[in-house]
Structure 1
Amino acid sequence: MALVYLSLGSNVDRERYILAALDALADQFGELGISSVYESESVGFKGSPFFNLVVKIETSMSVGDLSRWLKMIEDQNGRKRGGPRFCSRTLDIDILTYDDCVGEVDGIQLPRDEVDKNAFVLWPLAELAPDEQHPVRQLPYAFLWQNYTANQPLWRVDFSWRGRQISSSSIAGDTAVDAKATVS
């Protein structure tokens, strides 16, 4: 079984589509590791704020089969393809890492380039897997987050799934600018 980290994002009817994605992932893969849900401004275009989170799964699917299955889930949830790279999305699910694979696997670049470039990926990944190491940089995600310097504001939001709260906005001072000390 491969250990896989996925990035989920939505800025159109956000709660509905994130819940649908979590349901589909749990139905397919069983128990999920789930980070807090974060809200962030759109990056690369003017649009509504996004909800973002990272999910851990274990799978026997190949990278290619997993990618095709994730695209099917996106499509079933109203994802429109063929538009600009940066645009509003009902649902975006990306493979961040697949075990320690590095390079192009089944047409997918691993690890995904944005893992250590975007706060909305790195912070939830550092929260969920602080001691796991980036396959290329060979540094723990918590360390990468603590040393992250780009200014991309984001914050935790209240979010519940299947009767349990997975995220809370009640952590004082909890924004990307000053929350690095909370990741250990």
Structure 2
Amino acid sequence: MARIYISLGTNVEPERHVIAGVADLQRHLGALQLSRVFESEAVGFNGTNFLNMVIGAETELSIAEVNALFKQIEQDNGRQVQAKKFSPRSLDLDLLLYDDAVCQLPIVLPRGEILYNAFVLWPLAELIPNELHPLVKKTYLSLWDEFDKQSQHIWPIAFDFPQPEP
């Protein structure tokens, strides 16, 4: 079993898509470890604020299979396949870490935005503060402590996930 960490972001009907994204990931991956939900300003374009979080899970799927699963979940939640990189998102799921894998294909791991996007690094530092980034060999907590917190505006929000039906 591989331990994976996933970035979830949305700024189109964000509350609905956070709930749907987490539910879909749970349906496919089982038990999840959830960070708090954060609100942040759009990065790279002028747009409405995003809701973001990081999710931990275990899987027997390969990196390529995980990536394909995320693309399918995104599409099932209204994500446009040919959407511009910096644009509104109904649901954006990115594989951040797959154990300690360092690779370029089928995707780049660890995901580069861990080091430069507060909406990825802060929730990741909450979930695995003492784990080491496989390339820079610093803990996620120390990376967050060193991060220029004035460069991006992000704040935790109260978010209630619906209780599962009995």
* Correspondence for 1:27: 27
* Correspondence for 2:57: 57
* Correspondence for 1:120: 119
Q: Once superposed, what is the RMSD of the aligned Cα atoms?
A: 1.1
How many residue pairs end up in the alignment?
163
Within 5 Å, give how 1:92-103 maps onto structure 2: 92-103=92-103
* Correspondence for 2:80: 80
Task: Give 1:68 shift.
Answer: 0.3
SS of the residue corresponding to residue 74 of structure 2 reads helix
SS of the residue corresponding to residue 155 of structure 1 reads strand
SS of the residue corresponding to residue 142 of structure 1 reads helix
* Correspondence for 2:163: 163
What CA distance in whole angstroms lies between the structure 2 residues aligned with 1:84 and 1:22?
24
What CA distance in whole angstroms lies between the structure 2 residues aligned with 1:56 and 1:16?
20
* Correspondence for 2:4: 4
Task: Give 1:81 shift.
Answer: 2.0
Check if 1:139 corresponds to 2:103.
no
Q: Deviations over 1:7-31 (max 9, x none)?
A: 0000000010110010011111111
When the two structures are superposed, what TM-score results if normalisation uses the length of structure 1? 0.86
Q: Deviations over 1:42-76 (max 9, x none)?
A: 01111110000000010000000110011000000
Unaligned runs of 5+ in 2: none
AA aligned to 2:123 is: P
What CA distance in whole angstroms lies between the structure 1 residues aligned with 2:83 and 2:161?
30
Task: Give 1:162 shift.
Answer: 3.3
What CA distance in whole angstroms lies between the structure 2 residues aligned with 1:10 and 1:149?
23
What CA distance in whole angstroms lies between the structure 2 residues aligned with 1:86 and 1:143?
28
Check if 1:17 corresponds to 2:2.
no
When the two structures are superposed, what TM-score results if normalisation uses the length of structure 2? 0.95
AA aligned to 1:157 is: I
Percentage of identical aligned residues: 44
AA aligned to 1:120 is: F
SS of the residue corresponding to residue 72 of structure 1 reads helix
What CA distance in whole angstroms lies between the structure 1 residues aligned with 2:87 and 2:152?
17
Which runs of structure 1 show a deviation greater than 3 angstroms over 4 or more consecutive aligned residues? none
Task: Give 1:83 shift.
Answer: 2.5
AA aligned to 1:6 is: I
Task: Give 1:135 shift.
Answer: 0.8
Unaligned runs of 5+ in 1: 165-184
SS of the residue corresponding to residue 108 of structure 2 reads strand
What CA distance in whole angstroms lies between the structure 1 residues aligned with 2:78 and 2:35?
24
What CA distance in whole angstroms lies between the structure 2 residues aligned with 1:139 and 1:28?
31
AA aligned to 1:15 is: E
